[in-house]
Amino acid sequence: MSLARALRWAGLLGVLLLAACGETATLPLAAGTGPHPVLPAPRPMLIPTVNIAPADGWFPRATPVAAPGTRVVAFATGLDHPRWLHVLPNGDVLVAETNAPPRPGDSGGFKGWIAGLVMQRAGATVPSANRITLLRDTDGDGVADQRTVLLDGLNSPFGMALVGEALYVADTDAVRRFRYTRGDTRITAPGERLVELPAGPINHHWTKNLIASTDGTRLYVTVGSNSNVAERGMAVEAGRAAIWEVDLRNGAHRVFADGLRNPNGMAWAPVTGALWTVVNERDELGSDLVPDYLTAVADGAFYGWPYSYFGAHVDTRVDPPRPDLVARAVAPDYALGPHTASLGLASSAGTTLPAPFTHGMFIGQHGSWNRRPHSGYQVVFVPFEGGRPSGAQPINVLTGFLSADGRASGRPVGVALDGQGALLVADDVGNTVWRVTGTR
């Protein structure tokens, strides 16, 4: 073993030994889930809780566990860190094979060192493939039999949206527009930059997602914060922790809503037409805080970050405080459990999965690294009534990503419905896209 590798493992062992003395959740995960989560007193620690699920991948022929009345198969395997999905009108499935770009400003200090070791152990430090791959099922058997590189040479791409004959891709630093013709399997013409996005040497939350408005005139783009809780100051947070609205005609943009620490998935509610998102909340307040959440997003609304969480629960670590902003902070609609890393979001409108999956939202939970015991590592469904969460607990759709001894066979990220109403799930540790259907 090389000296450098030995030092890395020694450092990781030191982190794990420190973490072994850390705190443990005192509440069941369900207490931090639903429209009215239990929010205990914060338990900040000098050494953050570190509870890594080492990334193993799947054994041959192994799969996640599907909910009763459904089955799961591998739609495509052998991908390179597939994170996000978009289904085209002709049924082709686009997959963003991607990972974090170089971020030299996000690795300094003790916490940065810990974060680097954690991400390495969790399988999140592989180089980014920087491409969009197209998967096509030509014979309708539910397994992709054609695979081509639609776009490459990108910069940590994530979100995708098709509007007319334009395919929009959210790189980590810009939204780019490419000309697309129905049935294309390769785009070679250079794209144009529609709008620059906050990036730079820190770029703490690098994933940028997007969704088109229902009338095809605007894009909504997620931009995560540049820190956990503004410990680097607010100057580096300009335009971040927000969802932008972008005019497709000229790239003009504005902040649509902010105070959202790290929004990722977005979806339109079929009944109300409201924009919904899932958000990763802050760390280092203990295993019971703070729940990630699902919420409708109102134009001009502020959701608390970094000054407060779930409405008026003040985070005393932030200096100077902003009581004026806390006073108008909107409480999210539905908590998804602390540290679940809820990323993917898809409306069930058009699904062919059986009840109880007909009205609500599917959510891909990438899984915790700083909670004891683990949380997430599953795909769940939040039932809706009248265009809003019914208040019931989430229903498991896919589980089995985490072994009994806390090792990760896979980690779900993006979710989407395909042209037949089946649920697709991107698994960036298993390097697979899973497909969930009803058993009938």
Question: Which DSSP string corresponds to 210-269?
Answer: EEE-TTSSEEEEEE--SSSSSTT-SGGGTT-SEEEEEETTT--EEEEEE--SEEEEEEE-
Q: Would you call 316 helix, strand, or coil by DSSP?
A: coil
Q: Is residue 220 scored above 90 in pLDDT?
A: yes
Report the pLDDT averaged over residues 59-74.
97
> Of 11-15, 37-41, 115-119, which range is least confident?
11-15
Q: Would you call 4 helix, strand, or coil by DSSP?
A: helix
Rounded distance between C-alpha atoms, residue 314 and residue 305, angstroms: 10
Q: pLDDT tens across 328-381, in order?
A: 999 999 999 999 999 999 999 999 999 999 999 999 999 999 999 999 999 999
Q: Is residue 116 scored above 60 in pLDDT?
A: no
Q: Would you call 29 helix, strand, or coil by DSSP?
A: helix
**Facing residues of 110 across strands?**
none
Query: Cα torsion at 362, 265, 102, 371 (round to 10°)?
Result: -60
Q: What is the pLDDT of residue 46?
A: 76
Instruction: Retrieve residue 177's tokens.
Output: 């527009």
Query: What percentage of residues in the chain have a pLDDT greater than 90?
Result: 87
Mean pLDDT, the chain, whole residue set? 93
Q: Is residue 184 scored above 50 in pLDDT?
A: yes
Please give the model's pTM, rounded to 2 decimal places. Answer: 0.94
Rounded distance between C-alpha atoms, residue 56 and residue 241, angstroms: 32
Q: What is the pLDDT of residue 24?
A: 95
Q: Please give the helix or strand (H or E) that residue 70 lies within, else none.
A: strand 70-76
Q: What is the DSSP string of 187-214?
A: --SPPEEEEE---TTT-SS----EEE-T
Residues 6+ apart with CB under 8 A from 235: none
Rounded distance between C-alpha atoms, residue 365 and residue 303, angstroms: 21
Q: Is residue 122 scored above 90 in pLDDT?
A: no
Rounded distance between C-alpha atoms, residue 122 and residue 127, angstroms: 14
Contact criterion met (CB below 8 Å) for 100 and 120: no
Q: What is the pLDDT of residue 44?
A: 85
How do 395-399 and 275-280 pair as beta strands?
unpaired
Contact criterion met (CB below 8 Å) for 322 and 245: no
